[in-house]
Amino acid sequence: MKRPLANAAALLAAAVTVFPIYWMLLSAFKPAGEITSTAVRPWTWHPSLDSFERVIGQENFGRYFLNSLIVAGTVVVLSGLVAFLAAVALTRFRFRWRTTILVLFLIAQMVPVEALTIPLFFLVRDLGGTVPGVGLNTLGSLVITHLAFSLPFAIWMMRGFVAAVPEAVEEAALVDGASRFTVLWRITFPLAAPGLAATSVFSFITAWNDFIFAKTFIISAKGNQTLPAALQMFVKPDENDWGGIMAASTLMTIPVLLFFVLVQRRLVSGLGGAVKD
Amino acid sequence: MTTAARRGRFLPLLYLLPTAVVLVPLFGYPLYQLGLISVFDYRQPQVSGGQPAEFVGVGNYTTLLSDPQFWSVLSTTVWFAAACVLATLAVGAALAVLLTRVGRVPRTVLSLAAMAAWAAPAMTGSTVWLFLFDTDLGLVNQTLGLGGHNWFYDRYSAFALVGATVVWHSFPFVMVSLYAGIRAVPESVLEASRIDGATVWQQFWKVIVPILRPVITIVVIQSVIWDFKIFTQIYVMTGGGIAGQNLVLNVFAYQKAFGSSEYGLGSAIGVVTTVILLAVTLFYVRAIRRQGEHL
């Protein structure tokens, strides 16, 4: 293929790929009259914030947004710490069940977590009243379940980054009299931190995008709903408020996009590493 | 044995302790429970504690296996996943090859566009695609002058739209992985094949594909796993379809359990899905081992 032709094809593919996002943004900013008109309007001369105002004013939207941030943020921090420790154990030590544990983590990634919704629903229900902060209609139940489901992959990915930290640096610090614990937090952790960034994208996205658990565990306390389940409530069989839905979708996409942009390079190199491993 | 060495023996277990504290009760136990519930008659009276759960052995499974709807949902799930995987791979691979042949600017633009689609949550992707194909206010019907046509009434057009949304979400992973793989193919190898007179087509199939086989294997299996467990898009875009015509196993299980309070039956479906995916996983583990990954 000639280069100009290839360039044009790539730009066309990019346009097609980004189009739904463009349409979401455009529709979120269109005034009500243009959304409900059946004429084709690929552009608007009258951008308006009405849809955003309507959504934000509706049914605790800000609260849902904050809930999603709390759940995803907590999962990212906790899974980063836990996965880091596990990755150290699995890269720096040789012990008996090492291979078995690794294979189990790999298998865990393949288990359809949707299928576990049923037993988890009963577990979460039964934990209510016994374990503080957990139970139906609590954000805690979303945090712990997402933590569990993001861990196997986070550990698997962190492993490569911990392995890349030169052991000589750690040994030098040990020789200088640092404790194992100090070495772990002052040397290994900061050096593996870029990997943590890439890993955290996946944990963040898993928790942020979750729909099925939020829908199942948060059944009556509407104030504890997270964004995806709240968004589904806006989608009605007929008479959709498309402007509002697109505004809500936009608000929901922004944090993930920001996260992606921030760690984009590391994500690609991390993936390359994971794939070529 | 010195104190340090003995501590060294227990240290990895200590580091793995937090992981175990999370995974055993929240992953292992529910997995066990899923199997357990699937052999009980577990419905609303049992859930509320009014009646004891009755052990029915393989009862739920025989109910399922003799239910024609289960078989049709199972085959639908397999076909739908297969179609999504093939389409995702075709689009991802084609664009990965394209990326190697374009200038810096188009490459960056396409990468960023792919990142945006990748980052978009399944929920927002679903709502946007629903809107694009909305009966009256959707851009597609307005442009084509098909006002009043509902794309979600027909089983196949509904599946096609869900499939398009899925591919849109997942081709970026394939594209980025394969592009990274292609870039890692030594230039000298490509040049040697060029000197030997290989066409672009031959070069792709006879040189690049064999070298990339490990990456391709992983990308394929990862896609199979993702596409086999699609839930959000089907649920949000079709709700399972008219008369359940767009059901896949995960949504079917969810509706059985939380819609009709047939928790035992829903769990049995979950077990079937899990077993199928674990079989795929075994191939995955073997594939990675064969390419020399030290576990």
Chain Cα centroid distance, residue A198: 11
- Report the alpha-carbon distance of residue B110 to residue B211 in Å, rounded: 25
Whether residue A217 sits in one domain with residue A171: yes
* Rounded-to-5 percentages of helix, strand, coil across chain B: 75, 0, 20
Is the pLDDT reported for residue B150 higher than 60? yes
E strands, chain B, in order: 40-41, 54-55
The pLDDT confidence band at residue A277, using thresholds 50, 70 and 90, is very low
Residue A55 inside a domain? The answer is no
Chain B residues within 8 A of A115 when measuring between CB atoms: 34, 250, 253, 267, 269-271, 273-274
pLDDT at B10: 85
Whether residue A64 sits in one domain with residue A43: no
ipTM of this complex: 0.89
Contact at 8 Å (CB) between B16 and A83?
Answer: no
How crowded is residue B198: how many other Cβ atoms within 10 Å of its Cβ?
A: 16
Give the distance from residue B232's alpha carbon to the nearest chain A alpha carbon, in angstroms. Answer: 7
Q: Say whether B281 and A6 touch across the interface (CB within 8 A).
A: no
Whether residue A157 sits in one domain with residue A250: yes
Q: For A47, left (φ over 0), alpha (ψ -120 to 50), or beta? A: beta
Chain A residues within 8 A of B285 when measuring between CB atoms: 103, 106-107
Model pLDDT for residues A246-271, shown as the tens digit of each residue: 999 999 999 988 888 777 666 655 55
CATH code: domain of residue A156: 1.10.3720.10
pLDDT at A276: 35
Residue B112 inside a domain? The answer is yes
DSSP state of B259: I
Residue A274 inside a domain? The answer is no
* Angle (deg, nearest 10), helices A139-163 and A61-92: 40
pLDDT at A266: 64
Give the distance from residue A130's alpha carbon to the nearest chain B alpha carbon, in angstroms. Answer: 15
Question: In total, how many domains does chain A have?
Answer: 2
Model pLDDT for residues B214-242, shown as the tens digit of each residue: 788 888 888 998 999 999 999 999 999 99
Structure tokens at A194: 């870029």
> What is the domain extent for residue B115?
63-122+150-269
pLDDT at A61: 87
Residue A245 inside a domain? The answer is yes
Model pLDDT for residues A175-221, shown as the tens digit of each residue: 998 898 899 999 999 999 888 888 888 899 889 999 999 999 998 76
Question: In total, how many domains does chain B have?
Answer: 1
> What is the domain extent for residue A229?
60-268
Is the pLDDT reported for residue B7 higher than 70? no
Q: Select from B148, B128, B231 the least CA-distant residue to B239.
A: B231
CATH code: domain of residue B214: 1.10.3720.10
Whether residue A159 sits in one domain with residue A23: no
Q: Select from A214, A158, A76 the least CA-distant residue to B122.
A: A214
pLDDT at B1: 40
Average pLDDT in the B163-190 region?
A: 91
- CA torsion sign for B56, B61, B64, B65 is negative
Q: What angle do CA B195, B196, B200 make, to 5 degrees?
A: 80
pLDDT at B30: 97
Chain A residues within 8 A of B16 when measuring between CB atoms: 85-86, 89-90, 101
Q: Say whether B18 and A116 touch across the interface (CB within 8 A).
A: no
For residue B11, give the nearest of A93, A98, A250 by CB distance.
Answer: A93
Whether residue A69 sits in one domain with residue A20: no
Residue A273 inside a domain? The answer is no
Whether residue A219 sits in one domain with residue A248: yes
pLDDT at A272: 46
The pLDDT confidence band at residue A274, using thresholds 50, 70 and 90, is very low
Chain A residues within 8 A of B110 when measuring between CB atoms: 10-11, 13-14, 17
Model pLDDT for residues A52-97, shown as the tens digit of each residue: 998 888 768 889 999 999 999 999 999 999 999 999 999 998 888 8
Q: Which residue has the higher pLDDT, A2 or A94?
A: A94
Residue A53 inside a domain? The answer is no
What predicted TM-score, i.e. pTM, was given to this entire model?
0.89
Chain B residues within 8 A of A209 when measuring between CB atoms: 121-123, 232
Whether residue A149 sits in one domain with residue A129: yes
Q: Which of B10, B16, B47, B136 should one mutate to test binding to chain A, selecting the residue with the greatest count of A CBs within 10 A?
A: B16
Whether residue A223 sits in one domain with residue A94: yes
